[in-house]
Amino acid sequence: MGKEPNAEFFIEKLQAAKVTFERALDCKHTEFDDLYPYMLEHPQFFWYKRYVGWSELLTIAGLCEELSYPWRDLFTPQQVGYIEQRVMSAKVLDFWFEKNDSKEHAQADQK
């Protein structure tokens, strides 16, 4: 048949999905902006963008879980809890970075 699933491949995809979701939370550019440039004019755009990022993150984390790949190492314990709950709530949006005023979050904004 084909190649066996590769843990490194899935972990890299999960890391990329995490970055995309975090960029969406920060209202930064993602591939979604390029796919739907006309949506920038609509107020609901950022909600859709976050939902797409969250869905991708959950999908890849779920596959890693099924394949017993160590996906949790990429996230804080709080973030793992959000992923395991699967619901993108206001709590996830507000506290994904744990402290939005933290030095780490501010430095990430500059990138």
Does 27 fall in a domain?
Answer: yes
Tell which residue, 38, 33, 61, has the closest CA to residue 49: 33
Does 1 fall in a domain?
Answer: no
Distance separating alpha carbons of residues 53 and 68, to the nearest angstrom: 22
Domain that holds residue 21: 7-109
Does 81 fall in a domain?
Answer: yes
Does 2 fall in a domain?
Answer: no
The answer to whether residues 71 and 14 touch, using CB atoms and an 8 Å cutoff, is: yes
The answer to whether residues 60 and 20 touch, using CB atoms and an 8 Å cutoff, is: no
> Is the pLDDT confidence value at 33 over 80?
yes
| Domains held by the chain: number | 1
**What is the per-residue pLDDT across 49-93, written as a single tens digit (0 to 9) for each?**
999 999 999 999 999 999 999 999 999 999 999 999 999 999 999
Does 28 fall in a domain?
Answer: yes
The tokens for 46 are 């950022």
Q: Find how far residue 99's CA is from the centre of its chain.
A: 17
